[in-house]
Amino acid sequence: MTRETIDALRARLRARGVDPRDVDLLIADVTGTTRAWVLAHGDAMIDAAAVEALAARRLAGEPLQYIRGRCDFFGREYVVDDRVLIPRPETELLVETAIMRAPRHARVVDVGAGSGCVAISLERARTDLHVVGVDVSVAALALSRRNARAHRSPVRFIASDLLDALRQEVDLVVSNPPYIAGGDVAGLQVEVRDHEPRVALTPGPRGTEVIERIFDAAGNAVVILEIGFGQADAVRATAASRGFIVHEIRNDLAGIPRVVVASRH
């Protein structure tokens, strides 16, 4: 075991190129403390080797959330690993929109549930809703069910390709689908391109293939979708070709059109 003060270790890892905040969080995890404690106890001695092993993974491009095994979303902590997409702050806008738009006691399905963060956040904020999460990945569903138990949420998670496994009609379809065009994947950050599940990133060459299938499957349900940069016009045209009217497109904090609300009415 290699013992070293926190300040010395922090300085050494920062010099190697590890983000200072990441260093502090990894030290906090190894010591079982908080970042505030780490900042206040620079002279404390710790096991440097354990932190260095985690820092090496970070330098290799592995996302911090996977290394730590968790991330925050909509005020709650979720377990995550490389079976699921890491929840983004932009997706909180999707949840906010669904909370506002969902009718009382609506039957809601979250398509591409992943970690379960969207479905669970929606149900916890609107306990009148009947929420189901679906995903084609059985591995992802194991994680979403674990998160549901942790947050005492009654959301059911089902293996399904879109709505195929559902026996009842739904009132609202909500989804953060894969929407990156296949040709754009190579230009993504290493963290995303090499570590997050490809099926959760891109549906095909256009980037809108799953969005098109969601509109095809939605029936009379209201559809609320997260979309990618520059996709607003294409999604509006896709909706219209399936008999849907786009009622609202909400911008994220960067001013990018991010969430689409559409229905047949």
pLDDT in tens, 156-205: 999 999 999 999 899 999 999 999 999 999 999 999 999 999 999 999 99
Query: Residue 21: pLDDT above 90?
Result: yes
In this structure, which CATH number among 3.10.450.750, 3.90.1640.10, 3.40.50.150, 3.40.50.360 belongs to the domain 84-263?
3.40.50.150
**Looking at residue 265, what is its pLDDT?**
76
| 134, 158 Cβ separation under 8 angstroms | yes
| 85, 191 Cβ separation under 8 angstroms | no
Tokens (6 digits) for 102: 């969902």
Query: Residue 73: pLDDT above 90?
Result: yes
Write the pLDDT tens digit of every residue in 107-156: 999 999 999 999 999 999 999 999 999 999 999 999 999 999 999 999 99
pTM: 0.94
Query: Residue 72: pLDDT above 80?
Result: yes
All structural domains of the chain with their residue ranges: 3-60, 84-263
Tokens (6 digits) for 53: 């092993």
**Looking at residue 30, what is its pLDDT?**
94
Task: Give residue 40's pLDDT band: very low, low, confident or very high (50, 70, 90).
Answer: very high
Mean pLDDT computed over every residue of the chain: 96
**Helix (H), strand (E), coil (C) string for the chain:** CCEEEHHHHHHHHHHCCCCHHHHHHHHHHHHCCCHHHHHHCCCCEEEHHHHHHHHHHHHCCCCHHHHHCEEEECCEEEECCCCCCCCCCCHHHHHHHHHHHCCCCCEEEEECCCCCHHHHHHHHHCCCCEEEEEECCHHHHHHHHHHHHHCCCCCEEEECCCCCCCCCCCCEEEECCCCCEHHHHHHCCHHHHCCCCHHHCCCECCCCHHHHHHHHHCCCCEEEEECCCCCHHHHHHHHHHCCCEEEEEEECCCCCEEEEEEECC
Which amino acid would we find at residue 247?
Answer: H
Task: Give residue 3's pLDDT band: very low, low, confident or very high (50, 70, 90).
Answer: confident
CA distance 100 to 90: 16
Query: Residue 1: pLDDT above 70?
Result: no
Question: With pLDDT > 90 as the criterion, what percentage of the chain qualifies?
Answer: 97
